[in-house]
Structure 1
């Protein structure tokens, strides 16, 4: 039986409850490697969606022409929309077809499909809502990673801890992930990023839902495949998105959804530190211009707010780190009317 075909705009109607686990594979110039990826998808997967994201090399046509696995469905974007958009197209189709757990892997051969059972097991057991890969867990995997990627991923991991609130996870840009479909139903999918910031935005949205996220260790696999991203063009969008997500998360979790001592610490800490710094600088400039030494009282007025503010900020940060969701959300959610 040959793979089925469809378009992103013309999604097929739901096929009932037969599909339990689905795999979504965004494709862009993956003709050389996609066959090996598809052949390695284990039997526990019920449906495989290959999304041709406006591929110049016609990856979708290649899959339709060469693949014989009846689980494969090819979806298409007429124009390149980005990895996030392709993933969302696959998610929507998988949800329409009744998938309960949806795994996303890339088509470039860097993610071992035989590890899929590891990613879905915590979700099946009700221990997680979302699982993602972590290439930093094993030293051998880190040594295999190119130096540029190692440094970049380490920096992004630190930024993501602030912006998402998931302080226990690492390697946030890892695209090997699995999610329970009920979480996607709670998300504003139209607001998720369509580009390479998709994983970053996904973690932020999961954080606002207080979903449980679990890291799954796996080895790095690097061949001679070429990245389509230009690092110099990514710096500002990444910094901007992480900063925006951090402030939105703090407002939502500590002021809109809840209010506690930590809420006051998030406000008073930075205000006191800022006051101390500004007062200290102005006092130093004034004393220097007059050629006199600052008095002990002036120094204390500048230093004390900084010390108190720093302690309040660290206390709020410590509360945030300890305030991790620990109970999976999806077992508590009502099942969709057509869910098994």
Structure 2
């Protein structure tokens, strides 16, 4: 666990697009625990960045203007990269439309500061009372997306994957392939997938959202098919990386054998369907037994995958590794950079 006496530099990133009606109130409510605020104007037609520049006197606010519209994910990553380069320790992302309460920032930050998480994210499903204000369409859509995200990201314990209220330890920014992460509405889910590949620990933070007169730019009929395809692709990548490239275990064998046996049983059964009346006991067993065994193997693999959620904090492991490597590098430098010191007196 990190020493809580050491001050952490906290930065907030606000990707902004057509939020002039709410942005000033959002900035006003950000507390003194935040040392810098990065407002990223995503080539906004309403000129959100200029609007804030003319009216806001908070010295913490820094402005980034995108030359073209790159989406909420792209703007968030731009702000996070700049915050990390400026020396931030923990970076929080909130939206500028007033749906996210800035008073919750300490909750998102403290769990990372204490070394209990690498990445904290909001969860609007934690308390049933908080769902009463959520439109029914969003509620149903988020429930379906949560299930798909569990499968694709490997974080089976988290809900509300599209929640944009997040915080991350800045040391992970250099490890993430920022150029590969989705730049628009799939950003949060894709970031979770990338964090799982790294082995980062993710924790949900209970929260409520506030829905007023803001207008969502998302078009569900266009985005849902894209989300489904992207989740399927990330699931295949995660399984390949975690179970066949980085590691090969009993779970890998269970997955392969389960798929092979299920496929064989189904194909054999379909090919012999209706050929003989009635089907012989042997035919039924040859088709049915591989399906049963295959299903059991796939369930065993699923249980292993659920239990494999990252449980240790990556940024603390990185810090410990840096402390270990520092004397090793010094030792190597003293020996002219050789991997091992020269042994004299021996022939």
Q: Normalising by structure 1, what TM-score?
A: 0.91
**Deviation for aligned residue 1:274:** 1.4
Q: CA deviation at 1:70?
A: 0.1
Equivalent residue for 1:300?
285
Which residue of 2 is the match for residue 239 of structure 1? 228
- 2:179 alignment partner, SS class: helix
Deviations 1:84-129 (A, max 9, x none): 1100110111011100100000001100001000000011000100
Matches within 5 A, 1:220-235: 220-235=209-224
Residue from 189, 192, 207 that aligns with 2:196: 207
Residue 318 of structure 1 corresponds to 303
Counterpart selection for 2:146 from 145, 157, 164: 157
User: In structure 1, what is the equivalent of residue 56 of structure 2?
Assistant: 67
Q: Given that residues 103 and 176 in structure 1 are in contact (C-alpha distance below 8 angstroms), is that contact kept between their aligned partners in structure 2?
A: yes
State the 1:220 CA deviation: 2.0
Question: Highest CA radius of gyration, 1 or 2?
Answer: 2
- 2: CA distance between counterparts of 1:51 and 1:271? 50
Q: Secondary structure at the match of 2:275?
A: helix
Q: Which of 325-334 and 39-48 deviates more?
A: 325-334
> Structure 1, residues 64-101: CA drift from partner, whole Å, max 9, x if none?
00001000011101221100110011011101110010
Aligned length: 316
1:266 is aligned to 2:263 = no
* Structure 1 unmatched runs, 5+: 1-17
Partner of 2:121: 132
Query: Separation in 2 of the partners of 1:21 and 1:319?
Result: 36
Deviates most, 205-214 or 140-149: 140-149
Is 1:216 the counterpart of 2:201 in the alignment?
Answer: no
2-structure distance, mates of 1:225, 1:282: 56
**CA shift at 1:224, angstroms?**
1.5
Give TM-score, length-normalised by structure 2.
0.89
Counterpart for residue 344 of structure 2: none
1:19: Cα distance to partner?
8.1
Determine the C-alpha separation between the residues in 2 that align with 1:142 and 1:270: 39
Indicate the SS of the match to 2:174: helix
Question: What value does the CA root-mean-square deviation take over the aligned residues?
Answer: 1.5
